[in-house]
Structure 1
Amino acid sequence: MHAQLSILVTGGAGYLGSMLVPALLELGHKVTVVDNFMFQQDPLNTLCVNDHFSVVRGDVRNEALMRPLVAAADVIIPLAALVGAPLCSRDQVGATTTNKDAVITMLAWLSKEQRILMPITNSGYGIGQQDKFCTEESPLRPISLYGRDKVEVEEAILSHGNAISFRLATVFGMAPRMRLDLLVNDFVYRAVHDRAVVLFESHFKRNYIHIRDVAKVFIHGLHHFEQMKDKPYNVGLSDANLSKYELCERIQKQLPNFVFMEAPIGEDPDKRDYLVSNARIEATGWSPDYSLDQGIKELIKGYTMIRNTRYTNV
């Protein structure tokens, strides 16, 4: 049995938080979530019965709000962020102040004992080298504002010390606060509801990871903190460094009526095209539980229930 910890999770009502917070509570930890509930969803409803769960509605950039919450925590997990290049380019000030400045401000308040576990994107690798795996030592060449801010905040937390950074592959899978805009989630949604997708940059490769395995890696980091601290870790499925085209082929195996074709209709603002090595995290004893195919199967079931029809009449 691990000792009970007080854990502060900012953005705890988001896609990752909605999976991680229940898992932390299940282990007996005390969890305080700070979230501004900007997406008007309530994924933590069923946790309110738990005496170890507290929730604060507020903005992580509000120092008067955050200081006492940070002071009371053994562990800080900063998930609050405007996630993804498109959202960040729409609100550049909001992106940088939330994704980078709020975390760096918080570092100044921490004692030497307080721990940080933080998700970073592996889109920091930008365009990888042909047939060469990106390791944690590979140069970071982020292209978008989102990628640049995440790379800078990673540098800040690791040089502060007593921190672990997880460079997450593209996450997929069902969660209480769902995101339909992530690549696998989006493609399966289109395969289920539209039966077709048009691909651009279809041979760009990237790595993928199930949302439950992301929650699992945070718990792994918590339990193995001393031997893992002060390093970044790539977190992805080592058997899933796939191009968009290959991903569609995998979806088509489960949905044979799914049609996909290529056209030069757009470009990825992050230029993500890389192969990722997850050897460092695997060497610590962590391994994923969910494959890409299991995730696709799960999403197909989920989309029987979810139709994002808020703005349509059909």
Structure 2
Amino acid sequence: MTTKGESNNTSSIPINGVNGIGSNHDNDYDDMENQLIHRHVTNGYTSLNGRNGIRNGADIDHVLVTGGAGYLGSTLVPMLLADGYRVTVYDIFLWGVQSLCFIANHPNLTLICGDVCDQTRLAKAIQDCDAVIHLAAIVGYPACEKNPEMAQRVNEGGSRNVVQSLRPHQKLIYASTGSCYGAVDGTCTEDTAISPLTLYGSSKAKGEALVSDVGGVSLRLATVFGVAPRMRLDLLVNDLTCKALIEKHIDVYQGSFRRTFLHVKDAAYAFMLALKNYKVMQGKAFNVGHESMNMTKEEVVHQICDAVPGCHMTTSAIGEDKDKRDYEVSYARIRQLGFQPTVTVKDGIKELIKILPYMDEVEKKRARNV
């Protein structure tokens, strides 16, 4: 996640080894690739061709990821490296750099401490890359409401800086959100008119419009969940699972409201898909998720209670989702390109249960954007 301000350490940091050790660790990286990319090859959009292999869309070699140390970025960056891309992470490291420590020895990784609001520095970082994956943002309506000026500066102004820094041959893939839709009757498709009701939704929608103007790809992600190197506990499934483990009780408001969900690893795979299929995706928006994970909040809570012994649910009339998300979403457009999520909400809850009990209070505090 990238917000205002820039660290005093503004140097580009090429990661070429530890303590002067060289980078001849091919066997180690082969093992790492096997651990990081565990995917059914028949799904058609993750092609492991080796670091020097020819990929679909072979004109893309060097990818810059804004916000690459965040929740989604720290999941995506290892996948990019394992699939042979050179990767530059551009981030202010607001939540630290620990999320990338496990890949610090990779020879194709470069870190730049920089702010998307600093157009001069951003343009310099972008100039040598083939594609930009723009993740940096103030994420979620609570964080945007807490600091609306920063939200507009980062989500709108930062996206404008990215677009204006692009050269004609460079590709752009943007992390958008289903919150752009606002209140909708029926099933959402990419052709459904967007009418965001929160600053988060509107600022991301404006960023999406900027990306569309230069022929970029916008991925409207479902509500993301699951374990990542940089954890977040302010996402619905993650938050409720944490509460269930601690309190053995979940109080649900607007329980009949429908949401659609997506594991963070599958969200990351969607960006891999866009890199490999850029020519057919450019200039368009894509809902990212699957109809099987169109669920009500109560359905999610029931799955959590089933997984956490002694946990029970109650319903409440107090509370409101200001994004008014209560609709199902169609994912037919991205499914036609071979996208198929592999991690269900149930499986995501199971992995959360393995990790959450061992997070200390400092870790939990840092895992919330607000």
**SS of aligned partner of 2:337:** coil
Instruction: Within 5 Å, give how 1:93-132 maps onto structure 2.
Output: 93-129=149-185, 132=186
**C-alpha displacement at 1:65, in angstroms?**
1.1
5+ residue gaps in structure 2?
1-53, 366-370
Deviations 1:49-93 (A, max 9, x none): 111101111211112211111111110111111100000111111
Instruction: Answer yes or no: is the 8 Å Cα contact 2:116–2:162 preserved in 1.
Output: no
In the alignment, does 2:163 pair up with 1:133? Answer: no
- The aligned residue for residue 328 of structure 2 is 275
**C-alpha displacement at 1:243, in angstroms?**
1.2
In structure 2, what is the Cα distance between the partners aligned to 1:255 and 1:167?
A: 31
In structure 1, what is the Cα distance between the partners aligned to 2:146 and 2:328?
A: 28
**C-alpha displacement at 1:201, in angstroms?**
1.4
In structure 1, what is the Cα distance between the partners aligned to 2:165 and 2:97?
A: 31
TM-score normalised according to structure 1 size: 0.95
In structure 2, what is the Cα distance between the partners aligned to 1:297 and 1:137?
A: 35
Q: 1:25 aligns with which of 72, 81, 88?
A: 81
**C-alpha displacement at 1:144, in angstroms?**
0.5
**SS of aligned partner of 1:262:** strand
In structure 2, what is the Cα distance between the partners aligned to 1:231 and 1:186?
A: 32
Q: 1:154 aligns with which of 203, 208, 223?
A: 208
Which has the larger displacement, 141-150 or 101-110?
A: 101-110
**SS of aligned partner of 1:44:** helix
In the alignment, does 2:262 pair up with 1:209? Answer: yes
Which has the larger displacement, 215-224 or 265-274?
A: 265-274
Instruction: Within 5 Å, give how 1:1-314 maps onto structure 2.
Output: 1-2=54-55, 3=58, 5-40=61-96, 42-129=98-185, 132-161=186-215, 163-308=216-361
In structure 2, what is the Cα distance between the partners aligned to 1:239 and 1:304?
A: 28
In structure 2, what is the Cα distance between the partners aligned to 1:292 and 1:196?
A: 19
**C-alpha displacement at 1:265, in angstroms?**
2.2
In structure 1, what is the Cα distance between the partners aligned to 2:174 and 2:361?
A: 30
**SS of aligned partner of 2:115:** coil
Amino acid at match of 1:13: A
Amino acid at match of 1:150: K
**C-alpha displacement at 1:107, in angstroms?**
1.4
Instruction: Answer yes or no: is the 8 Å Cα contact 2:197–2:322 preserved in 1.
Output: yes
**SS of aligned partner of 1:33:** strand
**C-alpha displacement at 1:246, in angstroms?**
1.1
Instruction: Report the number of matched residues.
Output: 309
Instruction: Answer yes or no: is the 8 Å Cα contact 1:117–1:221 preserved in 2.
Output: yes
**C-alpha displacement at 1:311, in angstroms?**
8.8
Amino acid at match of 1:154: E
- Amino-acid identity (%): 37
In structure 2, what is the Cα distance between the partners aligned to 1:39 and 1:278?
A: 32
Instruction: Answer yes or no: is the 8 Å Cα contact 2:119–2:165 preserved in 1.
Output: no
Deviations 1:226-274 (A, max 9, x none): 1111111101121111111111111122224211111122211212111
CA distance 1:56–1:200, shift in 2 (3 Å) = same
**SS of aligned partner of 2:98:** coil
**C-alpha displacement at 1:310, in angstroms?**
6.2
**SS of aligned partner of 2:197:** coil
In structure 1, what is the Cα distance between the partners aligned to 2:236 and 2:135?
A: 20
Instruction: Answer yes or no: is the 8 Å Cα contact 2:145–2:199 preserved in 1.
Output: yes
**C-alpha displacement at 1:286, in angstroms?**
1.2
Instruction: Answer yes or no: is the 8 Å Cα contact 1:128–1:275 preserved in 2.
Output: no
In structure 1, what is the Cα distance between the partners aligned to 2:225 and 2:162?
A: 29
CA distance 1:188–1:311, shift in 2 (3 Å) = closer
Deviations 1:25-63 (A, max 9, x none): 111111111111112351001222111101111211112
CA distance 1:128–1:159, shift in 2 (3 Å) = same
In structure 2, what is the Cα distance between the partners aligned to 1:266 and 1:308?
A: 26
5+ residue gaps in structure 1?
none
RMSD: 1.5
**SS of aligned partner of 1:198:** strand
CA distance 1:288–1:310, shift in 2 (3 Å) = closer
